[in-house]
Chain A
């Protein structure tokens, strides 16, 4: 017997959870902490013509206000395209334009009302299918479609799909709409930044990706002038979180997360709290309201997926053509990575020898979507499973049989030619049937992942 496998293990943090001793970010008590509130855009797209914080800055209880001008490097993210605070071009409703730190919530909210904001509203594009069209309103200067090596899509090719369609007995097509989904962790987005002597900070974070975000945060703050060049950092996609100078300036404390589910894989509050702490010299806490969290935190973006399968009379899928469109919202965030993973696993846990999956990452004037449990694989699985039922329907076959017939076997490979040496899809399905009280016919019960495909 293993000491661990198959055994129950006590959670190391379980006792402090049940006694209420666990300190989440919002539970950190630092005397003198200021309350942060943000001015968010009321429009989905527009240009800021005038931003006047002079009256707000004079309001009682206000300790500091920041705008884009206060951000040392105002572009961050995996593809560093997202500003911390908008300087000119507003790309989604709710995008932060300025932030106030004040002695309490009332003072902060009253100051926000005194900020002069003049916006020239522009035509927004909210539907990804519209955004893909020639002449659609431009979401970002880089274009409305994410580029991959000169292509405005990511494509995975395996075998000869066209030939598979020629050989098919049936061609089954379907279109699937997957709505956006909010992670809704019980703990809303929150950040507490505490300044120390010297240009040093402690940031308490809800981040699910500490090292990733520490690097990004140092990039934004340019904590050691000269050690991290903003321009180089911007030019080298992928290097955003890898530079390792400047870390000594920021003590990043996290790991106690009140639910994330992929919703805390992007910096949402740490940068603003940190900038205000540096500006005011006082601890600053930015806790989003539940409404802000639901409206403006990242979420699983919506998908539009079409599948066309080449199928034999026996229910074997011999070819798949899949086109998937991801509504990414206004910024890259983790969307390109989500689309890539979607393409790699577009065939689901089934062996299809000829595959062409094309994934588009389309920008729209909406809050940026990002990761959520499964990084794009979940919608692929959803569409695939619905499609398999359609195939069973068309062929008059048992849906269990269609699945078992196509399930991966040992030594087969994914659309990216990753050979699978340890698979158990068939056994999982057989177990599932047993648990659901479904009696599988003998030939399906006799199947095994280790049998070579006949």
Chain B
């Protein structure tokens, strides 16, 4: 076992991990942060998406030991008591979430986009979310939600 130190949602943590352990396992099984989901464990679906030093990655195929000293943000980390991120508000109000299973990954992928591109085109939103699968919504409402959040954040 190896000791891994990382910061998760602003909190420094120390956990014991093996060579095969993934960041997703650290978050879900050791820290009980369950918004990143196990949709495939092969990098294909995007339900496990998190931000690593602000950059979107797949936690299911991120080796835990490779994130030593880094900072991880999950959906829990962008919510504050009584206060939600404009993206969360927009996904709620514009029906960007149905069953909710893809939603944490979708919102984080959207945040990664808006952090570097506050006024994306519809096509840029599609590109940014191209690795996140949703089986319920048909994507239109998700893209609407991201564009609505971008508008709100500008005003």
Residues of A participating in the B interface, judged by any CB pair closer than 8 Å:
10-11, 13-20, 22-24, 26-27, 29, 183-188, 257-259, 261, 287, 289-290
A10 neighbours in B (Cβ, 8 Å): 92-93
A22 neighbours in B (Cβ, 8 Å): 100
Contact of A18 among B42, B88, B135 (CB under 8 A): B88
Tell me if B23 is interfacial: C-beta within 8 Å of chain A.
no
- Contact between B34 and A18 (Cβ–Cβ < 8 Å)? no
- Contact between A20 and B92 (Cβ–Cβ < 8 Å)? no
A245 CB → nearest B CB, Å: 33
Give the distance in Å from the alpha carbon of A201 to the alpha carbon of B88 in the complex: 36
* CB interface residues, B 56-91, toward A, < 8 Å: 74-76, 79, 84, 88-89, 91
B107 neighbours in A (Cβ, 8 Å): 18
- What 3 A-B pairs come out closest when comparing CB atoms? A20-B35, A17-B100, A258-B101
Contact of B100 among A26, A29, A258 (CB under 8 A): A258
- Contact between B88 and A186 (Cβ–Cβ < 8 Å)? no
- Contact between A23 and B34 (Cβ–Cβ < 8 Å)? yes
Q: Which of A13, A16, A19 has the most CB of B within 10 A?
A: A19
A15 neighbours in B (Cβ, 8 Å): 84, 92
B97 neighbours in A (Cβ, 8 Å): 11, 14, 17-18
Contact of B37 among A11, A19, A26, A29 (CB under 8 A): A26
Given contacts A19-B79, A257-B99, contact A184 B135 (CB under 8 A): yes
Give the distance in Å from the alpha carbon of A187 to the alpha carbon of B37 in the complex: 8
Given contacts A20-B35, A29-B32, A259-B135, contact A185 B101 (CB under 8 A): yes
- Contact between B101 and A13 (Cβ–Cβ < 8 Å)? no
**Secondary structure type dominating chain A contacts:** loop
Q: Which of B28, B32, B96, B100 has the most CB of A within 10 A?
A: B100
Give the distance in Å from the alpha carbon of A188 to the alpha carbon of B135 in the complex: 12
A259 neighbours in B (Cβ, 8 Å): 98-99, 101, 135-136
B136 neighbours in A (Cβ, 8 Å): 186, 259
Tell me if B41 is interfacial: C-beta within 8 Å of chain A.
yes
Contact of A186 among B35, B42, B89, B134 (CB under 8 A): B134
A235 CB → nearest B CB, Å: 38
B84 neighbours in A (Cβ, 8 Å): 15, 18-19
- Contact between A14 and B37 (Cβ–Cβ < 8 Å)? no
In the complex, residue of chain B having the shortest beta-carbon distance to the beta carbon of A185: B135
Given contacts A184-B135, A186-B39, A186-B135, contact A14 B92 (CB under 8 A): yes
Can you give 26 A-B contacts (C-beta < 8 A)? A10-B92, A17-B91, A18-B88, A18-B92, A18-B96, A18-B100, A18-B107, A19-B75, A19-B88, A22-B100, A26-B34, A27-B28, A29-B32, A29-B34, A185-B99, A185-B101, A185-B135, A186-B45, A186-B133, A187-B39, A187-B99, A188-B38, A258-B37, A258-B99, A261-B135, A290-B40
